[in-house]
Each structure stands twice: as structure tokens, then as C-alpha cells.
Structure 1
């Protein structure tokens, strides 16, 4: 009888843990990222590092393989690389948070029609751009105090701020690893085109479907087995 009660208690505990463990976020949309435009002087508008003058050049061209992936938990990743004309490399490792389909103010250099635009209003603390091997940590311009008074990450038709194509744009304040603000008011700028790429969405889990993590599935199976064993002994 004691063993039966223990088995039943263990079963319910395992089931409770399985339910309590949050499901992993699923990628619901994937895009290839490319440069938005090139100026008359031949400068790329992909990444602009403003006052960080790496070997005499502030402009970086976004490289093939850079992606923008949206997940169903309201986050998105922007990862990949860019290179300036002098061969200095930059690596994007940005995770945006706070998805919303409505926000103001916006940047309207590409278009004033914001009907299909969406936005992200935050960045995780570990978001960074690494230039020539040095990590520069990123936050939205003026965050957190100026959210609602300054543009955030925007994407849609004409949202890249340089062309009327489908793309996006964001202004960033940069910080050292110790949290020291860098470059004063000289924010960094990313402008980009987006091309939908369904191949970037994993087959498992499917788009918009939350599937328990493997550890959760193990707990669930263990709990069900223990519960069956308990009931079999009681019969």
C-alpha cells in the first residue's frame, strides 16, 4: 500500500513538472537579409558605425548568410556579418523582443505608408555587434526611457528607411561589456532589405507549433508509466 501511494505521488509530481516546463519557442518566419541601398558615393547603407572609424571607413555591406528569424514568443534574431571596403568585419548577434504591429514614432525615409509594418521594442542584454574582434553591446536608441518617443526596430514595405522595398531599419546605442555608454549621441544604424525564405523555418517544430522540450517529454512519459503501474497494483 505504501509503495502504491509513493508511486502515485511520484507519477503526479512528474506529470506536474512536465506541464510546468515551458515549451520552446518556434520559428514562424524567416528572411534573408541584404543591403538596402548604396549611396551616390558608393557607400553601403547596410551597417553604419557612425563615430567608430575602423581603418577609415564607417560603412559596411551586409554579407550573404545574414538572416532575420521571427519566433512565436514575440522575439526575433538578427544574425550574420558585414564587411567594410577595407576588409574590416562586423558580426551581428542581436535578439529583439517585444513584438507589436503598432508603434510610433517611425522612420519614414523609405515610405510614409506604414500599413504593413511591424516592430520590436526591445533588445536582450547580450545583443551585440562585434567589429574587428571587439564586442559592442547594443540597445535601442534612448532605451528604456525614450521608448515611445524614439523609433525602434521596424520592418515592412519601405521600412528600411532608404528604399521603398520590403525591409527594415533600426538605430542602436552602443555600450561596452561593463555597461559604459560609448560614442555619446552618435548612434549606429542598420538598414536592410528582406527576402522571405521558408527554408529557414525548421521542419520540427512546425511554424507556430510549440512542442515540449525532450526533457519535458521524458518527464511526461515517466509520469504516465508510474501512474499506470500504481493503478495496476491497486487493481
Structure 2
């Protein structure tokens, strides 16, 4: 079921995209806009979202780019995702809150399935095993040319914007340009395959422009007042 099915009364929205696309900024802005419309919004992230999943996050986003192979990464991501969904996402949805997540399963499909060559079928099979048919109600894919995104990510690191505990979270950013080009194509393909769930958003504008585009997509999907 989707987050709208059964007794899950809230809505589950995920933001996806390559490095430097601005997801962390935009999840906060979207949550603030929902709150202004009287909707409780729970912010979360992947990998992470529970104490145990945050421990797994540290294994994935720090260290040498060759620390893990793609299949090992996939298994770690889904171990964290299972805890995240069961302990954070579903309980919030069940009480009627809307959950906004900085990354979810589409990132695993793009990073490990496409760029890591694990394959779409293997990722889909694992998702079914771990989460059944649970999927977001809406996925907003922030799209940005690779070099621009990596430049943003580098500037963010040099500018000290990240919190102290996140300073070393650049493992994926240090993977090669070809990896990131494949990643961008992957997100485009994912969005094209599931147009009812996914919206591709141009992330090249300033934060206000991107936030407005995101809110327009959310309002249209859920029949909210713009």
C-alpha cells in the first residue's frame, strides 16, 4: 500500500536528487509551509531517522569511497530503512501527520541500482521483501546539472554550513564524475517510469524559486490551497 492506504492517514513526501541539489534546505521550507497551512509535518532523513539507522548512516556516508561495494551498501540502506519506516514514518502517518523525508528508496535505486550496477530488479525485490508495497505518496526529484551540484556541495563543505558531526559526510560526493552523471540519468529514468508519484523539479534557481515550485507540486497533488 502507499502511505495513503489502510489506516495510514497522513501523507508521505520524499525529496530526491543528486549531491548539492538543495534537498536539506527544501525539506525544511516545505515543512514550514505545511505547518502554515495547519498540517503537522515531521522531518526526517535517510539513511537515518532512528538512533539505530543513524548509526548505519555513519557507516555509509563517511570514509573512503571504496569502503563498501554497491551490494553491501544496498543491504545497509535497507536495514536502516526498515527501522526508519517502522519506528518513525508509519507511526507519524498513523496519527495523521505528514512526513517529509530527505531521501528514501529512490536514492538506493539510483545510487546502488543504477550507478552501482546492482540492478533495478534486485533493488525492487529487496524493497518488496523489506517493506512490501510501501511507497511515498509523492516524490519530488530536485534536478541539477552534475557539475553545478558538486560545486554547491563543495562550497557547502568549505563554508562550514554542515554541523560538526556531519563534516565528514562526503563519501558519495567524492565518487567520480561519471558516477554522478549516471546518477542524474537514473533519477530522470525513475521519474519517467512513475509519473503519478514523481515530479521532476528544476533545482537551478534560487531557494525561493525552488521552494515555490515544490509547493506548487504538493498543492496540486493533494488539492491544497497554493
Same fold (TM over 0.5): no
Q: If the TM-score is normalised by the length of the shorter chain, which range does it land in?
A: under 0.3
- Structure ranking higher in strand proportion: 1
Structure 2-normalised TM-score?
0.28
- Structure ranking higher in helix proportion: 2
Structure 1-normalised TM-score?
0.27
